[in-house]
Amino acid sequence: MGKSYGEWLVRWRYLVLVAVIASVAIAASGARFLTFKTDYRVFFSTDNPQLQAFEQLQNTYTKTDNVLFVLAPKDGNVFTQETLASIIALTEASWQIPYSIRVDSITNYQHTEAEGDDLTVDDLVPDAGQLDAGGLERIRNIATNEPLLVNRIISPDGRVTGVNVTVQLPDPEEQTGKEVPKVTAFARNMVDELRAANPDLDVYLTGMVIMNNSFPEVSIRDQQTLVPIMFAVVVITLVLLLRSFTATIGTFLVIVCSVLTAMGIAGWLGMALTPPSASSPTIILTLAVADCVHILVSFLHAMRRGLDKTGAMVESLRINLQPIFLTSLTTAIGFLSMNFSDAPPFRDLGNIVAMGVMAAFFISITLLPALMLILPVRVKPGATNHSRRMDNFADFVVERRNFLFFAVGFIVVALVIFIPRNELNDEFIEYFDKTVDFRNATDFSSENLTGIYTIDYSLSAGESGGISEPEFLDRVEAFANWYETQPEVLHVNTLTDIMKRLNKNMHADEPEWYRLPDQRNLSAQYLLLYEMSLPYGLDLNNQIDVGKSATRMTVTVKNISSNEMLALEGKAQEWLHENAPGMRADGASPSVMFAHIGHRNIRSMLTGTSVALVLISLILVVALRSIKIGLISLVPNLAPAAMGFGLWGLLVGEVGLGLSVVTGMTLGIVVDDTVHFLSKYLRARREQQLAPPDAVRYAFSTVGTALWVTSLVLIAGFMVLTQSPFKLNSDMGLVTAITIAFALIADFLFLPPLLMKVDK
């Protein structure tokens, strides 16, 4: 089959060249439909229960997407005329931020004060210009003692403050992708102006909107830096290995066309880019090299042996067509296993790369040979150093097979026992490394003002108006108090703090009345009064549902790992179960969603990886026409990922969303080495009737070079990914690179001894 195909190709080479380029152009033109997703929610499938809980909460109250300006005066004191004036101006200006619906700051905080039977409701700082030292001190006292503000809008020591802008973006389906960048650009411009106007003020910008905007920013940065590096790596490797200008150009064209085709089809299919799926060009680039290397190494090898160009290409296609097809198929299956992931960006990544891999297969058996036949190719005849070295290496493996079998076997086991040391963690702030502004601003905020991780509860009183029931308010307060005592907690935003303050105001500001009202009617009437005195945007709709039957409590926590987050929420559930079973509610928030996503993904990816493993093993059994060899192949196919995660457990010990897909993905890649090695081994056993040791030698001498070169390119490629500022990509790249290195070790040092032991 391979031979007749080769002859067909030789005859129709010009037509093939034109047809392939035309097809690629049509496919690639779809790339214009590609857009970037600017919403952390894309990491969650629509049926994700935590996402649904959070959406429900947001639809009951108001959304919590926000922009947070963090202000740190250099003199360490927020309560000066100048700084307060800046905050007033910033608060005013923040209402102009697109999609803003609410602005909270210490200056527009609605302070309530009683004087006899008069209740005054006003901005805490209506005008900074008239404040004397006493006035400033009074404001400091109020602000730093107000539970609604401390650790949320003002630091307890009054050194750092924030202006929090709640942004209501259109529903995800209605978004055009321009909303988040628009909000971010507006806010950044405000920051620039603020810095220029007030050089004594350090300003940081964080919040969920800024995080959302950081996704495309890191993706674009990846495209601009990683892809060129990857191209450079590939070209250098090819020049060194192939020592042929034409071959290098050909390979370069194949990988460019593969990437363009895959990204173009992704565009036609309406996929949107996220940081994980935006790394597909780098991965496709890496994987596409392998096909070309196999074809070109054989082709150049045949020419060096003295065959003419046409004959050499026919021969190369004959021996490579089947293994390349097989390895492309298994690689594609490995990536397609990502469809089991709960996180759609990884499904997209898997699908785009799978398309890229198949495109690379077709292009490298059409465009590449056609080009080689058309362009001039010159080689120096004679054996290369590579193959001589490979022969020596083969001798070493055959001679020391017993030692290698046990030594490598021991290393495998030694690494695998460290797998359980891996702990799940998805702290979404740490998805961004410290070269990203958002990360630094958020770290500063967490250390000095307030955290970005929250847990929200919709506590239901069970009946319309029920939030005013004294019993219910008591339970809410007890729950809030319990949370306040947890060491991880920075702030608890609860309605009960407002109720207590109002009760005090209604009793001429007598401190002993700072407690919850003891009658339902009283609470309800206080709320009515208070709501009528609040200005636009500062209402209670973000804390009370329309039926006044439920209230939202927001707990802000420090930067804790997702395991700690889940543990804290677990303890809260226990508390609710024991103390307030009636108002039980699941914690819902982006942090809770991300805390669960690692678990959910690993569970779903286990299924995906198993399906991929079964499929790939079946393909190997059929293709190699041997159940025994198919089963043997399981060892070098599975061991590398296990070793990789063992080493990771030993060195890092933290896995998350990005790593949950690695096993399935690497399975498809590492199988390639096994396929190439085993197919050559079996060819030697069957066609040339060689004994296992000689068959091993044959396999090394025919594919050894190609294997280590392709592995090297793959390792280099995934190491390039580790330079991504986006942790999901960089971790995935690193573990994949490690796994591929282990796969090479397994295929070179463990598979041959295993074959010689078992295949007799």
Partner 1 sequence: MKQHYVLILVLFGMFLLPAQAETPDEKGLQIATEADQRDQGFGDSTATMHMVLRNKRGDESSREVRVRTLEIEDDGDKSMSIFDAPADIKGTAFLTFSHINKPDDQWLYLPALKRVKRIASKNKSGPFMGSEFAYEDISSDEVDKYTYKYLRDETWEGMECYVVERDPVDKHSGYTRQVVWYDKAEYRPQKVDYYDRKNEHLKTLTFHEYRQYLDKFWRGMRYEMVNHQTGKSTTLSWKEYVFRSGLTDRDFDKNTLKRAR
Applying CB under 8 A, the span of 25-33, 542-550, 562-570, 658-666 interacting with partner 1 comes to: 542-550
Report 486-515 residues binding partner 1 (CB under 8 A).
Answer: 506
Contact between 27 and 257 under an 8 Å Cβ cutoff? The reply is no
Applying CB under 8 A, the span of 53-61, 136-144, 156-164, 285-293 interacting with partner 1 comes to: 53-61
Q: What is the Cα–Cα distance from 172 to 3, expressed in whole angstroms?
A: 53
Q: Given its phi and psi angles, is residue 746 left (phi above 0), alpha (psi -120 to 50 degrees) or beta?
A: alpha
- Asked if 535 touches partner 1 (CB under 8 A), the answer is yes
Angle at 287 between CA 281 and CA 289, to 5 degrees: 105
Applying CB under 8 A, the span of 58-66, 192-200, 424-432, 718-726 interacting with partner 1 comes to: 58-66
Report 204-243 residues binding partner 1 (CB under 8 A).
Answer: none
Applying CB under 8 A, the span of 306-314, 344-352, 531-539, 752-760 interacting with partner 1 comes to: 531-539
Q: What is the Cα–Cα distance from 61 to 55, expressed in whole angstroms?
A: 10
Give the phi and the psi of residue 513 in degrees, each rounded to 5. -85, 5
Within 430-537, strands assigned E span 453-460, 489-493
Q: Which is nearer to partner 1, 58 or 310 (CB)?
A: 58
- The residue within the footprint of partner 1, chosen from 101, 611, 642, 652 (CB under 8 A), is 101
- Give the residue from 738, 741, 713 showing the smallest Cα distance to 662: 738
Q: What is the Cα–Cα distance from 280 to 267, expressed in whole angstroms?
A: 13
Q: How far is the CB of 468 from partner 1 (least distance, A)?
A: 6
Q: What is the Cα–Cα distance from 521 to 529, expressed in whole angstroms?
A: 12
Q: Which pairing describes strands 272-273 and 118-123: parallel, antiparallel, or unpaired?
A: unpaired
**Contacts (Cβ under 8 Å, ≥6 apart) of 703:** 294, 676, 677, 680
Q: How far is the CB of 619 from partner 1 (least distance, A)?
A: 49
Contact between 168 and 113 under an 8 Å Cβ cutoff? The reply is no
Applying CB under 8 A, the span of 12-20, 229-237, 429-437, 525-533 interacting with partner 1 comes to: 525-533
Q: Which is nearer to partner 1, 191 or 256 (CB)?
A: 191
- Asked if 689 touches partner 1 (CB under 8 A), the answer is no
Residue type, 181: P
Applying CB under 8 A, the span of 32-40, 263-271, 313-321, 535-543 interacting with partner 1 comes to: 535-543
- Give the residue from 69, 612, 677 showing the smallest Cα distance to 330: 612
- The residue within the footprint of partner 1, chosen from 17, 21, 85, 119 (CB under 8 A), is 119
- Asked if 516 touches partner 1 (CB under 8 A), the answer is no
Q: How far is the CB of 113 from partner 1 (least distance, A)?
A: 9
Q: How far is the CB of 492 from partner 1 (least distance, A)?
A: 23
Q: Which is nearer to partner 1, 507 or 571 (CB)?
A: 507
Q: Which is nearer to partner 1, 530 or 726 (CB)?
A: 530
Q: Which is nearer to partner 1, 119 or 148 (CB)?
A: 119
Q: Which pairing describes strands 423-424 and 654-655: parallel, antiparallel, or unpaired?
A: parallel
Q: What is the Cα–Cα distance from 677 to 673, expressed in whole angstroms?
A: 6
- The residue within the footprint of partner 1, chosen from 536, 687, 689, 760 (CB under 8 A), is 536
Applying CB under 8 A, the span of 297-305, 369-377, 529-537, 688-696 interacting with partner 1 comes to: 529-537
SS3 content of the chain, % helix, strand, coil (to 5): 70, 10, 25
- Give the residue from 714, 688, 710 showing the smallest Cα distance to 699: 688
Number of residues near partner 1 (by CB under 8 A): 50
- Asked if 118 touches partner 1 (CB under 8 A), the answer is yes
Place of tokens 């500022």: 725
- The residue within the footprint of partner 1, chosen from 77, 120, 189, 435 (CB under 8 A), is 120
Report 545-564 residues binding partner 1 (CB under 8 A).
Answer: 545-549
- Asked if 393 touches partner 1 (CB under 8 A), the answer is no
CA distances to 11, 214, 727, 729 from 432, rounded to whole Å, are 53, 8, 6, 10
- Give the residue from 418, 413, 415, 393 showing the smallest Cα distance to 747: 393
Report 423-482 residues binding partner 1 (CB under 8 A).
Answer: 464-465, 468
Contact between 709 and 389 under an 8 Å Cβ cutoff? The reply is no
Q: Which pairing describes strands 489-493 and 550-557: parallel, antiparallel, or unpaired?
A: antiparallel
Q: How many CB atoms lie within 10 A of CB 197?
A: 11
Q: Which is nearer to partner 1, 357 or 461 (CB)?
A: 461
Applying CB under 8 A, the span of 13-21, 57-65, 643-651, 677-685 interacting with partner 1 comes to: 57-65
Give me the residues paired with residue 273 across strands: 36
Q: How far is the CB of 600 from partner 1 (least distance, A)?
A: 25
- Give the residue from 334, 273, 415 showing the smallest Cα distance to 729: 273
- The residue within the footprint of partner 1, chosen from 4, 56, 77, 141 (CB under 8 A), is 56
Q: Which is nearer to partner 1, 76 or 535 (CB)?
A: 535
Per the structure block, which two tokens stand in for 53? Answer: 């809980």
Q: How far is the CB of 275 from partner 1 (least distance, A)?
A: 29
Q: What is the Cα–Cα distance from 496 to 526, expressed in whole angstroms?
A: 12
What is the contact mask toward partner 1 in residues 263 to 302, using x (rule: CB under 8 A)? ----------------------------------------
3-state SS, one letter per residue, for 659-724: HHCHHHHHHHHHHHHHHHHHHHHHHHHHHCCCCHHHHHHHHHHHHHHHHHHHHHHHHHHHHHHCCC
- Give the residue from 676, 658, 546 showing the smallest Cα distance to 597: 658
- Asked if 60 touches partner 1 (CB under 8 A), the answer is yes
Q: How far is the CB of 510 from partner 1 (least distance, A)?
A: 14
- The residue within the footprint of partner 1, chosen from 17, 529, 621, 650 (CB under 8 A), is 529
Q: Which is nearer to partner 1, 454 or 458 (CB)?
A: 458
Report 78-97 residues binding partner 1 (CB under 8 A).
Answer: 95-97
Place of tokens 């597909």: 280
- The residue within the footprint of partner 1, chosen from 544, 555, 560, 576 (CB under 8 A), is 544
- Asked if 525 touches partner 1 (CB under 8 A), the answer is yes
What is the contact mask toward partner 1 in residues 594 to 623, using x (rule: CB under 8 A)? ------------------------------
Place of tokens 């690689």: 331
Q: Which is nearer to partner 1, 110 or 151 (CB)?
A: 110
CA dihedral defined by 439, 441, 445, 447, rounded to 10 degrees? 60
Applying CB under 8 A, the span of 135-143, 539-547, 578-586, 587-595 interacting with partner 1 comes to: 539-547
Applying CB under 8 A, the span of 55-63, 153-161, 198-206, 287-295 interacting with partner 1 comes to: 55-63
Q: Which is nearer to partner 1, 306 or 535 (CB)?
A: 535
Rounded to 10 deg, the angle between the 727-745 and 662-687 helix axes is: 20
Task: Put the strands of the sheet holding 453-460 in their side by side order.
Answer: 453-460, 550-557, 489-493
Q: What stretch of H or E contains 730?
A: helix 727-745
Q: Which is nearer to partner 1, 127 or 399 (CB)?
A: 127
- The residue within the footprint of partner 1, chosen from 35, 45, 52, 62 (CB under 8 A), is 62
- The residue within the footprint of partner 1, chosen from 59, 130, 176, 385 (CB under 8 A), is 59
Q: How far is the CB of 139 from partner 1 (least distance, A)?
A: 18
Q: How far is the CB of 588 from partner 1 (least distance, A)?
A: 14
- The residue within the footprint of partner 1, chosen from 168, 189, 481, 607 (CB under 8 A), is 168
**Contacts (Cβ under 8 Å, ≥6 apart) of 230:** 282, 285, 286, 717, 720
- Asked if 538 touches partner 1 (CB under 8 A), the answer is yes
Q: What is the Cα–Cα distance from 640 to 643, expressed in whole angstroms?
A: 5
* Contact positions vs partner 1 (CB under 8 A): 56, 59-60, 62, 95-101, 110, 117-122, 168, 464-465, 468, 506, 519-526, 528-529, 531-541, 544-549
